[in-house]
Amino acid sequence: MFKLFGRHQNSILKTIKHWLLENSRVLITASTSAGIVILFRSLGLLQTWEWALYDNFFRLRPTEPLDPRIVIVGITEADIQKYGYPINDQLLAELLQKLHSLQPRAIGLDIYRDLPQEPGHQKLVTALENIPNIIGIEKIGTDNNLGIKAPSILEQKQQIGFNNFVIDADGKIRRGLLYMHLENGNFRTSFPLKLALNYLKVEGIKPKPANKPSYLQLGQAVFYRFKINDGAYIRADAGGYQFLANPRKKGRFHRFTMNDLLSGNISPKLFKDRIILIGYTAISVKDLHIYSYSTRLFSAPQKISGVELQANFLSQILSSALDGRANIKVLPEPVEWLLIIVFSWIGANLSWELLLPRKSILITLFIGISITGIFYVSFIYGGWWLPVIPPILALTGSASMIMFHLAHLREELQKSTEFLQSVINAIPDPIFVKDKYHRRIVLNEAYGKFIGYPIDNLLIKTDYELFPPNEANVFWQQDELVFQTHQEQENEEYFTDAQGISHIIATKRTLHQDAAGNLFLVGVIRDITERKKMEENLKEAAARLELDNAQLKQLGDSLHHQANHDPLTGLPNRKQFYECLSQAIEWANLNDKMVGLLFLDLNGFKAVNDTLGHAIGDLLLKEVAKRLQGCLRGSDTVSRLGGDEFTVILPGIPGKLGASRVAEKICHTINQPFKLENNTLSVGTSIGISLYPLDAEEIDQLINHADSAMYEDKKKHKKQR
């Protein structure tokens, strides 16, 4: 299993290595483009562009319905002209009493009142003391700004909220505040949140920690705490509990003037159980601000009053908590970087695959528009503020870099092909040059003559259009092998020309690279058809000669066997017997061993020949030969000297006792009945034994001693009968 895993692992590593080599230019370009965009973004160079597009997403967003929970009582220019500026405490007290009588759920006083404005200051104090649901406003001092305090009576009742805004570098307000922590350890609640909490308390909704303890949850909404690099922001001030604003278009609230209220020109049901915000809307007061909806393409930004901005923050809190309206969310910074990297790779890869600049530009433009559209839909329906500018810049940047690189490659390719063309035309062998897509880019005249087509036609056709599929497949595989291994290859292939004549060719393929990195496969062809025919003829002649030699050897072996073996039994004959005995004695002398020699003669064999015929006698001799071979060692040699005489050579026999035991075994074997063609025969054997060197040291003497011993044994058998 581990070996199998190792083989698969090696295969995977080779595949990855090949892919990296093939796509190295794309990877380098994509990484470079993504790195530049991430650097620009980290330096804040794209922040203004992203803010502008973000504001346009708001401006193009479908108009939301009016929020009926909030009513704005604005102090207009006309009110100032009629009642003066600032309005005195008596008039403000009357205004508050009038509003209180309309039974609102909360009243937000977006008017600073840190100093008395006579006449009527005491009446205002009394009104503020007696109206339980009024929320005043203060401005917390920051840096060199000392701030503005709220009326002391409201501070005592803890019915105040701060009015501090977070203003971006371009002067727009895109963030709101829920809480601020002061240096003394205390914290303050913002003016819109204070009003929202009063309103939501009636609905049974109280603030509580979200899944992340640092986040605030109100009803259905989680208010994601702003971080220094959220959205398009880079190293922004994230002090306090900030959140990204999700405002409504201007005019999405019921609006009345102070004069409408004091004159009774109102509908009381619009005020009951609502939140009433009172504040200046007159331009002369200069309490005007720019937010996302203020953007205009061809005109100055349209500002809104502070009280309406507070209404937007208040509406966002209420609609998120009660209606599930989406708060603005952003991706984690690493995910945004990943997005940039992905689109950078897409741009580089598309341009590399498409090759044509026009197609690349159109596809890149389409993807850029698609990114904008998809991110806009995510913003509309999910509240996601996704970075549009960085991915588009990474996409177009990497695509442009690849297009410039391809243009450079094409220029160098043109130079290289012109040079190659001038060189190979002087070479008599057919030569082709292909690019990494297996397309012919240069051919010499010899190649055109060899294949039988004009060169112009060959340059626009592929191998599969010119040759049979099996030949084209081989050409493609051999070309690809060189491109993958970067090693020289030589291969023999079949090649069919324009007249349908097949050739056998030897093609040598090598890989070359120009200064721009373009790869060229150069193939040199040699027609080896005639040489192959000669080789085949030589092979056939060699095969015939080898067959003749084999037959001669077989004949020689047969003659040698016939000369040294008995034709009837296949046993060594007398000549071979003498050679074997001589070798056994030489071996015995070298190894200080003995050799036993047995002479055998069949008893009653003549009677078998006389009564049953020579055919049965021959069968009997064959069976005797088989039995002798079957009961002896592989190193022992059985020979037939002629007639019914047999010999047995026993190399390395330990002594007479061992030879006697072999003789007894032979006798027992031969004495067993023979069944030959429905005849059952019983014959015996007489055996003479001699030992070298005990009985004789000369071969003839050794043989004579064994022969004499056999005749003595034969006499014994005759007497016994």
C-alpha closest to that of 162 among 188, 182, 133:
188
**Alpha carbon distance 714, 521 (integer Å):** 93
DSSP classification of residue 467? S
C-alpha closest to that of 177 among 227, 225, 248:
225
**Would you call 644 a catalytic residue per the annotation?**
yes
Q: Are 205 and 124 in contact (CB under 8 A)?
A: no
SS (H, E, C) 68-107: CCEEEEEECHHHHHHHCCCCCHHHHHHHHHHHHHCCCCEE
**Residue 637: in which H helix or E strand, if any?**
strand 637-642
C-alpha closest to that of 498 among 466, 521, 533, 457:
466
Q: Are 446 and 462 in contact (CB under 8 A)?
A: no
Length of the chain measured in residues:
721
Residue with tokens 């020309």: 497
Q: Which amino acid is at 516?
A: A
Residues 44, 49, 50, 54, CA torsion sign: positive
Cβ neighbours, 10 Å, residue 507: 20
Per DSSP, which regions of 464-553 are E strands? 489-496, 502-513, 519-527
Q: Where are the alpha helices (DSSP H) in 425-528?
A: 445-451, 455-459, 463-466, 469-485
Phi, psi of 32 (to 5 degrees): -65, -50
Residue with tokens 């069949």: 602
Long-range contacts of 499-502 (CB under 8 A, 24+ apart): 499/452
What is the SS3 assignment for 688?
strand
**Residue 173: in which H helix or E strand, if any?**
strand 172-173
Q: Torsion angle of alpha carbons 323, 327, 332, 333, nearest 10°?
A: 170
What is the SS3 assignment for 205?
coil
How far is the first Cα of the chain from the last one, in angstroms, to the nearest whole number?
A: 78
**Alpha carbon distance 123, 126 (integer Å):** 5
Q: Are 414 and 83 in contact (CB under 8 A)?
A: no
Q: Are 652 and 588 in contact (CB under 8 A)?
A: yes
**Alpha carbon distance 352, 127 (integer Å):** 75
Q: Which of 644, 695, 707, 713 is catalytic?
A: 644
C-alpha closest to that of 173 among 226, 211, 212:
226
Q: Please provide the DSSP assignment of 4-67 as one string.
A: HHHHHHHHHHHHHHHHHHHTHHHHHHHHHHHHHHHHHHHTTTTHHHHHHHHHHHHHHSPPPPP-
**Alpha carbon distance 255, 277 (integer Å):** 10
Q: Which amino acid is at 197?
A: L
Residue with tokens 């069968």: 619
Structure tokens at 477: 């595989």
What is the SS3 assignment for 256?
strand
Catalytic residues: 644
